Each structure stands twice: as structure tokens, then as C-alpha cells.
A and B are shown apart, each in its own frame.
Chain A
Amino acid sequence: MDIQSCVEVRNEWDIVSARQLGRNMAKELGFGNVDQARITTAISELARNIYLYAGRGKICIEPINQLGKKGLRIVALDNGPGIREIRKVMEDGYTTSGGLGAGLPGVKRLMDEFSIESTVDVGTEISATKWLR
């Protein structure tokens, strides 16, 4: 079942299809209701960030299996402007678009593992994992 699925994010409707995919995969893996909601919300945040800041990019979702530990990994990739101050975007309430500024720190709290890599003018790669308990 190690099939990676990707959704291109170009407009707001793609956000919906990205989280639909995430919800289906999470359900298949056996995540409970709450974790399904967490995963779809995290995907929604990441996809919206792509749409808002990079314009286009993609969300890849893959089931992972590490020494019998099962989980779901979300990877958000874009070739957008990058994030200048990563430490700041991880603070609650920091926003450059007039939103709540809870997106990225929120995703980190929703998921179990979180990593972010970004180079200015090159792009951003965020990966987040949720383990099945």
C-alpha cells in the first residue's frame, strides 16, 4: 500500500481535493475520527499556504511503515518565494496576510512530526507525519 499520491494545488478547489484524498487515505489506514479531522485540517492549512503564498505547488500524501509503526506523511512542496523567517512563522499569531497566524504552528500541533525547509526565492518543503496509535 506504499503508494504516494499527489495533488497539484493551483486554486481553491484543489485544496478541497487534496484534503479529500487525505481523508480517504487516513480512513483506509484506520485512523479514528479525530485524527482524520486533524489530518484533513493540516492538509487544508498546508494547501492553503501554497495557494496563498506560492500560487502553485503540490501536496503529496503517503502511507509509511517504519518497523511496524504505521503512519501517514504529508509533504507540501512549492517553488514559491520561500519563507524568510522560519522562526517567526512558527510563532502563534504571526501573519503576513491578515489571517489568524495559526496555520503552521497549528499544523505542528495537529501532527506528530513536523519539519520545514525553505530557501528564499527557491521554494518550501514542509513534511508532517501522523502515527497510527
Chain B
Amino acid sequence: MIVQMVNENQETLKNNWIKEVNLFKEKELAGTTLKFSDETDQQFFNMLIKHINYHDISKDGTLDEFFDQVLHTGLPLSYITQGLQAARRVIVNFLVKTEMDKEKLASVYREIDRWLDPILNQVVENSSQIWERTVSIQKTALLELSAPLIPVFKNISVMPLIGSIDTERAKLIMENLLNGVIKYRSEVVLIDITGVPVVDTMVAHHIIQAADAVRLLGSTCILVGIRPEIAQTIVSLGIDLSLFPTKSTLQKGMENALEITNQQLISNK
């Protein structure tokens, strides 16, 4: 019944809906550089009307495709959900105006729910999927540049650390460090923390553990890149880093490492 009614009054409903949408359109899209064209609005409404005829929204996949498309342009999800709510409002208002007894009205309400709710679920699901995908891609990208061990000279490797260190990265640092020491036969490993913004007890703890493990493999770990303010906080925290050598800069650490491995840099004159 609702199907028939909606199909018959498509134009009126559409016009009412567009009026509703324009009420919140500017506010929702403010701050974005998006121009959500009126055609897309209409396309959206036509899509809704089209789907009233289906019982299963996944029937032809056009809905999926449409949402995928608009969400990828960076359209806020709230704009679409508000659009859906507006559609419901418009239709209900329209129905209330036509004469109908309570029983009938209730059943029409249920029908509307059956029609619009799956669409709403679909769009929320689509958008959360897009987010999840983005987050997981970024996470892998972050892990890839997380803790590389770079062999520099014979038996000397460097691990530059940049950014915050969390539990996951700490694990990775340890693994890469130990695997690298074996792989490159490093006698000396320089851990450079110039790019680590905060050294708290957890970060220090992980570095100490890593250095300790390196020591067990028979190699030496030198901590370099300690900025003056970091040195002061480490002292205030009462962290004991006396177990392994530390140097202020990578350069000094490298000189020290060359000394340990009995190597020298000779310039060609």
C-alpha cells in the first residue's frame, strides 16, 4: 500500500524532501570544500524510491555502489543519515495529511521502517568499513617505517627511532634489533632516539631491555641522540642507564663504535 502511495506521489514527496534537505545542507557541509550538487541529492532520493519496490536492498547492488561513491568523496555520514531522516519525516507528514485510521497508519509505519532501516544500516556499515580500512592501512604503513636496523659499516648498525613508542612498536624494535644483530653480525648497535619526543619509564624500560638482550648476544648497544631536556627528565625519573654507554649525538656514537670495532675512517687526500 505504501509502495503504491509513494510511487504515485513521487514528485510531491521529492520536492518536500529537497526543501527539508536544504534546511540543514549548508550547516552540514560548512567547513568542507564540498559541493554536493543538487543532482546527487535527486539521485539519492530516486535511489530511495527505487528501493521501496525491493524487499532486499542488496538486490542489485546499486545502493552499495552509490554510497561507496559518495562516501569516498568525503561527504559526512551525518548528511546522509539526516537525508534519510528527512525522507522519513516527509513521507510520514504526507501520510498524516491523508485520512487514515489508526490501524492502517500503524501498519504503514511498520512498512516504512522495513523500507528505510536496512538502507540506514547499510550506509552506516559502508562508512565504518571505509574507516576501518583506512585505519588498518595506515597502521601497516606506520609499522613498515617503524624500526629499521641499518648496517652502516662493517659490524656496525644503526637503529633510528622516530615518533612515539607504544607496546607494539617496542616489541618490533626488540625483534628487529635482535634479528638484525645476527643477520648483519653487528658488534655494535647504535640506537638513535633523537626523534623520540618523550622518554618516560616505559620507553626507557623497553630500551634497557633491548640493550640487555643485545648484550646477551655478545654485542654492544650504544644509546645516542639524547637531547639535554630528555637527559634531565631521565635523571628526574630516576632511571638508571649506566648499564650501557650513551652518547649525545649519532656522530659521537659512531666514533665510539669504530673504536670498539678497531676501525678507522681515513680520508683520501
Interface pair A110/B166, CB less than 8 Å apart: no
Known A-B contacts A41-B199, A45-B200, A99-B205; A34 and B232 likewise in contact (beta carbons under 8 Å) = yes
Known A-B contacts A33-B229, A36-B229, A38-B233; A12 and B167 likewise in contact (beta carbons under 8 Å) = yes
C-alpha spacing A81/B200, complex, angstroms: 23
Q: Residue A7 at the B interface, CB < 8 A?
A: no
B residues 179-207 near A (Cβ < 8 Å) are 197-202, 204-205
C-alpha spacing A105/B237, complex, angstroms: 7
For residue A99, which residues in chain B have a CB less than 8 angstroms away from its CB? 201-202, 205
Checking B166, B197, B236 against A109 with a beta-carbon cut-off of 8 angstroms, the contacting residue is B236
Checking B197, B201, B233, B236 against A100 with a beta-carbon cut-off of 8 angstroms, the contacting residue is B201
For residue B205, which residues in chain A have a CB less than 8 angstroms away from its CB? 99-100
Which one of A38, A40, A100, A109 has the greatest number of beta carbons of chain B within 10 Å?
A100
Q: Residue B164 at the A interface, CB < 8 A?
A: yes
Number of A-B residue pairs, CB cutoff 8 Å, is 64
For residue A13, which residues in chain B have a CB less than 8 angstroms away from its CB? 166
Residue interface bits A23-38, CB-to-B below 8 A is 1, else 0: 0000000000110111
| Size bin of chain B's contact surface | 20 to 34
C-alpha spacing A109/B238, complex, angstroms: 9
C-alpha spacing A97/B166, complex, angstroms: 16
| Majority DSSP secondary structure for residues of B touching A | helix
Interface pair B233/A41, CB less than 8 Å apart: yes
Give chain A nearest CB distance to B207 CB in angstroms.
Answer: 11
For residue A12, which residues in chain B have a CB less than 8 angstroms away from its CB? 166-167
Give chain A nearest CB distance to B98 CB in angstroms.
Answer: 49
Residue interface bits B195-227, CB-to-A below 8 A is 1, else 0: 001111110110010000000000000000000
Q: Residue A73 at the B interface, CB < 8 A?
A: no
For residue B232, which residues in chain A have a CB less than 8 angstroms away from its CB? 34, 37-38
For residue B208, which residues in chain A have a CB less than 8 angstroms away from its CB? 100
Q: Residue A132 at the B interface, CB < 8 A?
A: no
Known A-B contacts A16-B164, A106-B201; A100 and B230 likewise in contact (beta carbons under 8 Å) = no
Interface pair A44/B198, CB less than 8 Å apart: yes
Q: Residue A58 at the B interface, CB < 8 A?
A: no
Interface pair A41/B164, CB less than 8 Å apart: no
Which one of A37, A38, A48 has the greatest number of beta carbons of chain B within 10 Å?
A37
Give A residues with C-beta under 8 Å from B: 12-13, 15-16, 19, 33-34, 36-38, 40-41, 44-45, 48, 92, 99-100, 102-103, 105-106, 109-110
Q: List 9 A-B contacts (CB under 8 A).
A: A33-B229, A34-B232, A37-B198, A37-B232, A38-B233, A41-B198, A100-B239, A102-B238, A106-B237
